[in-house]
Chains A and B, each alone.
Chain A
Amino acid sequence: MAIKEFMSPVPGIFYTQPSPDEPVYKQVGDVVSEGDSLCLVEVMKSFHTIVSDTSGTFKGYLVENEDEVSPGQVLLEIEISE
């Protein structure tokens, strides 16, 4: 099964939840559909949502919530469904 990596397009602060009092976007093993929101990166006072362009199974975040990220850094992995 192919694994797809999602990279941060921008530098900033990484978030796994839409807001501090909401649950994380995805947990390991969750089903991911095309168009699902996966995480946020905050830069210049705006939040950039990373959206899935594939369907599959969520394999996990590779960055801790609220960590700093750089452009091109891998944030999470999805196992693509055949």
Chain B
Amino acid sequence: MASDVGDRIPILKLGDALLVTIQVDMHDRLALALEDDLTNRIVQTSAKGVLIDISALEIVDSFIGRTLASIAQIARVLDAETVVVGMRPAVAITLVELGLSLPGVRTALNAERGMALIRTHRADELDADPDGDAA
């Protein structure tokens, strides 16, 4: 599936979470490819969490913002929790000024906190539903 490596953002599996670190400038095609790949990987690995690290992103336009929001929605449909981590202050201000406050996307300051958030969310879910398989 991962054919064109140069044109893809790598998705790493970490326990039952998927880790995406965006290190390059996002352009629209890349964002759409990420949405595709991520959807497929969530289904493949039945991941319960998606962590998207955008700490290296200096520019986020409205399209990227919307793509992040739709990734979160898609993941929720597939029973995975999305956390966007490491957003820079300037990016946060830009998104708010664009009117994109990403409702429905969880956020955390850094990858560590984001992982913790995914873990507690998962634990809460298992507590609420003890019959679900914990493996």
Partners in one complex: no
